[in-house]
Structure 1
C-alpha cells in the first residue's frame, strides 16, 4: 500500500496519488498476448503451429500450437475437432486434409490453415464395427446410403426428453407415425450417404425437406403443411458435408457438420444412436431445451423387410373399458382416444361406468385400430359387436369445403368397421385400403347408447385380414366431432 509520509500538504498528497493512478492505468493498457495493446486483434500470420507424424503410425499426427493466446481450437478437416495446445489427429484414410487452428487472445481471435497429406490408408484404424455399419466399410468407397423406413410403424416418433416437465420415460410415448403417414411431405424421397473417405456426408433431398414447426425460419420459403403444424421447406442438400461418429458418456453419438442433417429436421444435427446394424439405423435427437425427443428409423436404400408370416388364427376379443381387456388399441391420425372415460349417459342396467372417448379432429382419415398379430379366421369368429353413443351436440350438417370430392363432406351419423390386410407375407401396408372389407351402420338416434353388430361372415373365404379398424363420423372431411364406444367384442355368430 502506498503511504504519504513526506508531507502533510493535502495538495501534494493528491498530486502524488494522480501520478500513481496514471502509471497504473498506462501499465494496464499493455497486454502480453498476441496482438500487442488492447484493441489490436491478432492476424492469421500470428497463428502458427507444427505437425509431426507419430513415430509408429504415420496416420496419426501430433499438432503443437506455437502462437500466443489463451485458447486453441482445432479443426482437422476430417469431421473431427479438438481443443488445447498439444493435440492428436487421426487420419485413417489417405488424402489431403486442411487443418485449421483458431487462436483466441484478449484482443480477439484469428485462424490459419495448413494442408496435411496422408500417403496411405490405414485400414486397421477403420476396423470399427459401428463405422463399418454406417458407411459400408473400407471396401465400399461410394459409402452407404440410408433412407427413412417409411413403410414401418414407428419410423418417426416423439416423446419426452430428459428435461420434460412430466418426467416421461424418454421414449416415443407421445406420437408414433403410422406406415407411410408422411407421404408428400418432402421426407420419403430423401437419401443420406455416409462415406469413410474424408468422413464425408451427402444429403440428397430432391429439393425439399420436412421441418419441425419450431424451425421454419432457418429455411427461406418454408410452407406449413396442409392440415398440420410442421413445414415443407426448400433445401437442396449437398455432397460437401461431413459427419462425426463418437462416444460421449457411454452413448454413441452421430453428428453431421457443415449444414447437413438427417431426415426430419427438429433443430438439431446431433443424434444419439439407439440401434445400428446392417439394416437399421435408429436415432434420437433433442430440441433446444431437452424437453422433447425426436426419433427416426432408417434402413439402407433398396432394403426390403422380409415378409412377416402370420399364423391363421382366431380368438375372442373383448374390451369393456372398465376391466383390462385383451386388446391393444392404436390410433391413426386421431389425437384424442381415451380408453377410460366416464360414461356420458349411464344406463340403469349398465354395470360399467367407463367407456372410450373417440374425438375426431380435422384429419380426413382418422381412426382407431387393433393389429391382431395373426390372419383372422372368419370361419370361427366373424361378428363384431359394440355399443356407440353419438352426442346430439355435434354439428352433423356443416360441410367441409375442403372435403375430398367423393365424400359428402359433413360429419356422418355412422360407425364403420373395416378389415384390412396390412402386415404378413401379402400385406399391403399403407395401401391396405385397396382390398379392405367394410361394414357401415347408420345411427338414427343421437344422445343415447345404441347396440351395433357388424357381420363379416360373407367374406369368410378371405384369409389375409390382420387389422380391425373403427372409424366414426365418416372420412374424407375435416369436420370435428366427439363420440363414445363401449363393450367391444369379436365373437362367433352363435
Structure 2
C-alpha cells in the first residue's frame, strides 16, 4: 500500500491557544523581574535534526534567548511542550512546524518546514491505528456506527468528576431512532489519515450549535440538513497520559456539540468509546459509544434462578427500587399503624397529575432471570386513601380514564429495548379503602418463562392523567 502527500493540516490555532493558556498559568517566579521587550518572529529560533536511528523522527531544539516556555505544533496534528522535543512523521511529505515561545515580554512564533522523504510503514503499525482503521491492509478503511442497541451509546455527565461517566443522562437503547443519528457512518482510513463522515443528508445537533451546521438554533436538540466536508483527516495525540482523537476541518462524529476533539476512553477491535467537552460549556462531558458497522455485541446469557426478595421499608431490604414518572418516599410514617400493618415506616407512592405521569412505576432489576417453576407468588400490603379522586376522568382514549383502586405487578425483560412488549402482568383490585390490605400475585401460570428479570409495581392504573397517593409495605416473594 502506498502512502503519499498527506497527513493532517496545520493546526496553528492549537499552539496559540496553548500559549495563551500558559500565559494565564505563569507563576510569580517565572515572571519575576518584570516585563522585558516583546519578542518578535525573527527572535524565535530553533534547530531540527533527524535522530540517528530513524530519519522520520526529528529532534527540535528551542534556541530562543530569554524563552521560558516552548510550545510546538508539528503540523501533523501533534503538539509538544519543552525546549527539546521529538516529533514523529511516519508519512512522507512536507510539514510546517511552528514554535511558539513565551518570554517575560510576551509571546511570538516562527515556522520552518520539514520534508520527509519516505513513509516509514513500521511507524504506522500501531495498535491504536490498526484498531481505528483496520490497518495497512484495509484500503477501504474501517466504518464505525453509534452502538444504538446499548444503553449509554450517547450521554452527558459531569466533566469535573475524577472519572466522568454519563451520570446526568444516558440514552436508552434506540432512544434516538428518529433523529437521523443511527444511519450515520464514520470511516477512518490509514492511507492519508483520511476521515469520511457519511450522514445521508442530515445530522443530529445540540440545540445551541445547529446554526454552525447551517440550521437554526432551537429550544431542543434538532436534526439539520448538512453536507459534511470531504477533506477531513484524523489524528491521535497523547497529552498528560491521555489519548485524544481529533478531526480536522471542523469534523465530528455523529452528534454535534461544537467540538472536534475527543478523549479516547476505550479503543479496541470492536469498541470506540469517546468523551468530548461541549463548546462554551466545559463542565459538560459528552459520551459516544461506537462499534464497527455490522458488529453485534455478544450478550452474556443471564443465569436462571430465584432468590429471596423482601422489602418492609423499615429496614434495609435486598431490593433497589428505581422510579419512572413517580414520586417515591421509601421511609414514610405509616398513616394507619393498626390492623395487619403496625410497622413504623412504609413507602409513599405519589402519582402526579397529567399526561407525563400516566405511566407512574417503581421497578427493580436483577442480574439473573427468574426461575418461576418453584417460587412464583409475590405478596404486597397496600393502603388506598379514600381522599383520592376516583371519579374524574382524564386520559388516553385506549385507557380507563379514572384513577383505579388497583395494584399491578409486571414481570419484564429489563434488557429489552421495549420491555413491556413481552411482559406478564397480574392486576389486583383493592376493595377496602383507608385500611391496610394484603394482595397476592400468583405467577404460576408463567412458570415456563425464563427471560424475565425485572419487577414493576404500578398503582392506580395506567394511561389516566389523575393524581393519586398510595402507601405500600411488606413486599416479598413467598
Alignment TM-score, normalising by the size of structure 1: 0.69
Give the stretch that moved more between structures: 135-144 or 288-297: 288-297
Residues 119 and 478 (structure 1 numbering): CA distance in 2 closer, same or farther, change over 3 Å?
farther
Q: Is the 8 A contact 1:319 1:326 kept in 2?
A: yes
Give yes or no for the alignment of 1:297 onto 2:289.
yes
Q: Is the 8 A contact 2:337 2:344 kept in 1?
A: no
Partner of 1:128: 126
Identify the match of residue 253 of structure 1 among 244, 247, 268. Answer: 244
Q: Is the 8 A contact 1:186 1:210 kept in 2?
A: yes
Q: Is the 8 A contact 1:51 1:62 kept in 2?
A: yes
Give yes or no for the alignment of 1:221 onto 2:210.
no
Q: Is the 8 A contact 1:79 1:242 kept in 2?
A: no
Measured in 2, the distance between the counterparts of 1:483 and 1:260 equals 52
Identify the match of residue 311 of structure 1 among 280, 290, 303. Answer: 303
Measured in 2, the distance between the counterparts of 1:310 and 1:66 equals 63
Name the SS for the 2:129 alignment partner. helix
Q: Is the 8 A contact 2:232 2:247 kept in 1?
A: yes
Partner of 2:445: 458
Give the stretch that moved more between structures: 361-370 or 311-320: 361-370
1:341-400 Cα deviation digits (max 9, x unpaired): 424734344313242545567276564433322222222122233344567567984646
Give the stretch that moved more between structures: 124-133 or 374-383: 124-133
Identify the match of residue 325 of structure 1 among 317, 337, 352. Answer: 317
Partner of 1:4: none
Measured in 2, the distance between the counterparts of 1:176 and 1:270 equals 20
Q: Is the 8 A contact 1:419 1:437 kept in 2?
A: yes
Residues 374 and 107 (structure 1 numbering): CA distance in 2 closer, same or farther, change over 3 Å?
closer
Partner of 1:13: none
Partner of 1:194: 188
1:248: how far off?
Answer: 2.2
How do 1:406-445 residues align onto structure 2 when only pairs under 5 Å count? 406-407=398-399, 414-423=406-415, 429-442=416-429
* Stretches of structure 1 lacking an aligned partner (at least 5 in a row): 1-29, 36-46, 424-428
Give yes or no for the alignment of 1:468 onto 2:455.
yes
1:125: how far off?
Answer: 1.4
Measured in 2, the distance between the counterparts of 1:97 and 1:476 equals 66
Measured in 2, the distance between the counterparts of 1:255 and 1:479 equals 51
Give yes or no for the alignment of 1:90 onto 2:80.
no
Partner of 1:181: 175
Q: Is the 8 A contact 1:396 1:412 kept in 2?
A: no
Residues 452 and 261 (structure 1 numbering): CA distance in 2 closer, same or farther, change over 3 Å?
farther
1:211-249 Cα deviation digits (max 9, x unpaired): 445545544235556xxxx44444444443333322222
What is the count of residue pairs matched by the alignment? 432
Give yes or no for the alignment of 1:270 onto 2:224.
no
Residues 184 and 83 (structure 1 numbering): CA distance in 2 closer, same or farther, change over 3 Å?
same
Give the stretch that moved more between structures: 473-482 or 187-196: 473-482
Q: Is the 8 A contact 1:224 1:232 kept in 2?
A: no
Partner of 2:54: 57
Measured in 2, the distance between the counterparts of 1:448 and 1:324 equals 25
Measured in 2, the distance between the counterparts of 1:389 and 1:206 equals 55
Measured in 2, the distance between the counterparts of 1:239 and 1:409 equals 55
The higher radius of gyration belongs to 1
* Stretches of structure 2 lacking an aligned partner (at least 5 in a row): 1-36
Q: Is the 8 A contact 1:414 1:443 kept in 2?
A: yes
Q: Is the 8 A contact 2:305 2:369 kept in 1?
A: yes
Partner of 2:18: none
Q: Is the 8 A contact 1:322 1:355 kept in 2?
A: no
Residues 355 and 32 (structure 1 numbering): CA distance in 2 closer, same or farther, change over 3 Å?
closer
Name the SS for the 1:434 alignment partner. coil
How do 1:335-374 residues align onto structure 2 when only pairs under 5 Å count? 338=328, 340-343=330-333, 345-348=335-338, 349-355=341-347, 357=349, 362=356, 367-374=361-368
Residues 477 and 260 (structure 1 numbering): CA distance in 2 closer, same or farther, change over 3 Å?
farther
Q: Is the 8 A contact 1:77 1:97 kept in 2?
A: no
Residues 125 and 34 (structure 1 numbering): CA distance in 2 closer, same or farther, change over 3 Å?
closer
Residues 31 and 79 (structure 1 numbering): CA distance in 2 closer, same or farther, change over 3 Å?
closer
Partner of 2:270: 279
Name the SS for the 1:326 alignment partner. coil
1:286-318 Cα deviation digits (max 9, x unpaired): 444544433333222211122322222112211
Identify the match of residue 160 of structure 2 among 159, 162, 170. Answer: 162
Q: Is the 8 A contact 2:313 2:346 kept in 1?
A: yes
Measured in 2, the distance between the counterparts of 1:260 and 1:243 equals 9
Partner of 2:476: 489
Partner of 1:380: 374
Alignment TM-score, normalising by the size of structure 2: 0.71
Q: Is the 8 A contact 2:325 2:361 kept in 1?
A: no
Residues 363 and 79 (structure 1 numbering): CA distance in 2 closer, same or farther, change over 3 Å?
farther
Name the SS for the 2:417 alignment partner. helix
Name the SS for the 1:134 alignment partner. helix
How do 1:130-145 residues align onto structure 2 when only pairs under 5 Å count? 130-145=128-143
1:60: how far off?
Answer: 3.5
